Amino acid sequence: MSAARGGRRVLDGIDLSLADGEVTALLGPSGSGKSSLLRLLNRLADPDEGTVRFHGEDVRGLDPLDLRRRAVLVPQLPAPLPGTVAENLSFGPRLAGRDVPEVVRCLARSGLGDEYAERDASRLSVGEGQRVMLARALALEPEALLLDEPTSALDDDAREGIERTLGEIGLPMVLVTHDRAQAARLAGRIVEIEKGRLA
Amino acid sequence: MSVQLSLGELALSLVLVAVAVAVSLWRRADLEKDLGLAVLRSFLQLTAVGYVIQAIFDSDSLLLVVALLAVMVGVGTWTAQRRARSVPHATFPILIALSLAAASTLGVVLALGVFEATPRYLVPVGGIVIGNAMTAAAVALNRLADEVHAQAPRLEATLALGATSRQAAAPLVTQSLRSGMITLIDQTKTTGIVAFPGIMTGMLLAGADPVDAVRLQLVILWTLLGSVSLSALLALSLGYRGFFTDAHQLRELPEV
């Protein structure tokens, strides 16, 4: 696959297959194109050349909304919607026409106590916010998680906590990181990207 | 009731332009050329419009009125889309917004019999409605572009949860609608206290009864509230799509 952004080629001739059930780290310095690659996986963007397949199917043939609920992206920084944490968790399932998610269970899987449910989602620390982003993704009962530098804005303690939680979730993941040690701690497979190419 | 000004009297009011030129020269503001151009253009444009309106009044043809209003909508659309340059594909939403806002508000005041369906009312009222609708659409769309730029990460995070572009953009559209409408609402609130509105001023200068002048001004202000809100709403409801693809992806934003 190849992709351009802002008239600049950010991905060039990427050919990659990710195994189901595995945690894969996309490792590279900032600006290497790893986040751009991640955004192709749930069709927040499309490649200019080439095809992204999910379970063998061209993602352009899938409903993009449904795809994004199956492979849920956790953003680099907390991006809470207005309202409580519980409302944030219910947002995705409600749009999908599903029942209200098990908020407490999603919070627990993300390492948050049930007292967070009624907190104002915009008044949390970055570390707490990132866990809410994780819980919000889990509330969609995804088949896989796409993580975009989930700990880049955190101090070491908070980072260790999130890493532990990620290790316990037990879902296939694609983890974008610039931190080689983190990739080694979390991922079964490390894919290195440099200047838009597989290194 | 009418006021007659000879060209000579008109020329005398240029004395105050001379004051402005003097100020500009004294403070080296370098505005003399622009002032001259402004005087010349305002004279030529308004004189030309005066003759066009005179011709339309004389013809008493509604077809000509509609044609003139269509030209205003066209020029208004072009002006607004230039101002809202950071909004992709804005022309069509603005065109629809201006046309429908003008047609519906004029239709309502005519249907209710507030004004007679004659060129004397339709041309000036239509002009004011289209002008205000144009500004409201441009302000609202520009605000939407600012919001989309500022909140791009949150928009994408919302899309990533399976929201459609319409659902993701809804809070931004609401914010921008407020921006498009608030100026006129504030003006309407303070009208008569902070500034005399133009139509009333014109009628008073022309010798009209103050009560009549006030009532006509109120009709115009209230008509404008309706047309401006419709215009902003339509421009936004159609215009937000320009920021997204059919696959509910946020487009790359053009550099501003």
Report the alpha-carbon distance of residue B29 to residue B39 in Å, rounded.
17
10 Å CB burial of residue B127 (0-12, 13-18, 19+) is: middle
R_g (Cα) of chain A, nearest Å: 17
Residue among B60, B91, B59 at smallest CA distance from B78: B91
Residues, chain B: 256
pLDDT given for residue A181 in this prediction: 93
CB–CB of A198/A12 below 8 Å?
Answer: no
pLDDT given for residue B28 in this prediction: 93
List of chain A residues whose C-beta atoms are within 8 Å of the C-beta of residue B160: 42, 44, 68, 72-73, 75
> Could you please report the per-residue DSSP string of B209-222?
-HHHHHHHHHHHHH
List of chain A residues whose C-beta atoms are within 8 Å of the C-beta of residue B249: 43-46, 64
10 Å CB burial of residue A32 (0-12, 13-18, 19+) is: buried
Report the alpha-carbon distance of residue A35 to residue A58 in Å, rounded.
20
List of chain B residues whose C-beta atoms are within 8 Å of the C-beta of residue A5: 252
Q: What is the number of other CB atoms lying within 10 angstroms of the CB of residue B183?
A: 14
List of chain B residues whose C-beta atoms are within 8 Å of the C-beta of residue A46: 247, 249
**List of residues 6+ apart from B33 with CB closer than 8 A:** none
Residue B231 has pLDDT above 60, yes or no: yes
List of chain A residues whose C-beta atoms are within 8 Å of the C-beta of residue B171: 82
**Structural domains of chain B sorted by starting position, each given as residue range(s) with its CATH number in brackets:** 1-59 (no CATH), 61-243 (1.20.1640)
What is the CATH number for A141? 3.40.50.300
C-alpha pair distances (Å), A63 with each of A58, A71, B154, B248: 11, 12, 21, 10
Q: Which domain holds residue A77?
A: 3-198
Q: Does A42 touch chain B (CB under 8 A)?
A: yes
pLDDT given for residue B140 in this prediction: 95
Q: How far is B84 from chain A (nearest CA, A)?
A: 20
List of chain B residues whose C-beta atoms are within 8 Å of the C-beta of residue A65: 162-164, 248
Report the alpha-carbon distance of residue A137 to residue A144 in Å, rounded.
10
Q: Does A45 touch chain B (CB under 8 A)?
A: yes
Where would I find the H helices in chain A?
Answer: 34-41, 64-70, 85-95, 103-109, 126-138, 156-169, 180-186
Q: Pick from A62, A73, A122 the residue to mutate for testing the B interface (most B CBs within 10 Å).
A: A73
The SS3 assignment for A145 reads: strand
* A80-109 average pLDDT score: 94
User: What rounded mean pLDDT belongs to chain B?
Assistant: 92
Residue A6 has pLDDT above 80, yes or no: no
**ipTM value greater than 0.85:** yes
Report the alpha-carbon distance of residue B114 to residue A111 in Å, rounded.
66
pLDDT band at B222 (very low <50, low <70, confident <90, very high): very high
Residue among B179, B211, B204, B250 at smallest CA distance from A46: B250
Q: What is the number of other CB atoms lying within 10 angstroms of the CB of residue A49?
A: 12
Q: What is the number of other CB atoms lying within 10 angstroms of the CB of residue A183?
A: 22
Residue among B149, B168, B173, B157 at smallest CA distance from A79: B157
Residue from the list A5, A66, A73 with its beta carbon closest to the beta carbon of B160: A73
Q: How far is B177 from chain A (nearest CA, A)?
A: 19
Residue among A131, A139, A149 at smallest CA distance from A103: A139
CA atoms within 13 A on the CB side of B125: 30
**List of residues 6+ apart from B240 with CB closer than 8 A:** B144, B165, B166, B169, B172, B173
Q: Does A58 touch chain B (CB under 8 A)?
A: no
Report the alpha-carbon distance of residue B105 to residue B228 in Å, rounded.
10
Percentage above 90 pLDDT, chain A: 73
* B196-218 average pLDDT score: 91
Q: Pick from A52, A59, A74, A81 the residue to mutate for testing the B interface (most B CBs within 10 Å).
A: A81
Q: What is the DSSP-derived secondary structure letter of residue A174?
A: E
Q: How far is B249 from chain A (nearest CA, A)?
A: 5
pLDDT band at B2 (very low <50, low <70, confident <90, very high): low
Q: Pick from B156, B159, B161 the residue to mutate for testing the A interface (most A CBs within 10 Å).
A: B161
Total count of domains within chain A: 1
Q: How far is A157 from chain B (nearest CA, A)?
A: 25
Residue B165 has pLDDT above 80, yes or no: yes
Report the alpha-carbon distance of residue B231 to residue B212 in Å, rounded.
28
* A45-74 average pLDDT score: 93
pLDDT band at B66 (very low <50, low <70, confident <90, very high): very high
3-state percent helix, strand, coil for chain B, nearest multiple of 5: 75, 0, 20
List of chain B residues whose C-beta atoms are within 8 Å of the C-beta of residue A79: 153-154, 156-158
pLDDT given for residue B227 in this prediction: 94
Output the CA angle B93-B98-B103, nearest 5 degrees. Answer: 130
Q: Does A100 touch chain B (CB under 8 A)?
A: no
The SS3 assignment for B5 reads: coil
Report the alpha-carbon distance of residue A163 to residue A177 in Å, rounded.
12
* A15-36 average pLDDT score: 90
pLDDT given for residue A15 in this prediction: 87
Residue A98 has pLDDT above 60, yes or no: yes
Whether A77 sits inside 8 A of B154 (CB atoms) is no
